[in-house]
Amino acid sequence: MKYPDGILARLGDKIVVWEGNEGVVVCSMDTDEYSEEYPRENVGYLGRGIMVLSEKAGLIHYLT
Residue 1 burial (CB < 10 Å; 0-12/13-18/19+)?
Answer: middle
Q: What pTM was computed for the model?
A: 0.91
Kindly state the average pLDDT of the residues 48-59.
97
Q: How many CB atoms lie within 10 A of CB 29?
A: 21
Host H or E run for residue 43: helix 40-43
Q: How many CB atoms lie within 10 A of CB 64?
A: 12
Read off the pLDDT band of 13 (50, 70, 90): very high
- Summarised one tens digit per residue, pLDDT across range 18-32 is 999 999 999 999 999
State yes or no: pLDDT of 42 exceeds 80.
Answer: yes
Interatomic CA distance for residues 46 and 29, integer angstroms: 8
State yes or no: pLDDT of 8 exceeds 90.
Answer: yes
Q: How many CB atoms lie within 10 A of CB 57?
A: 12
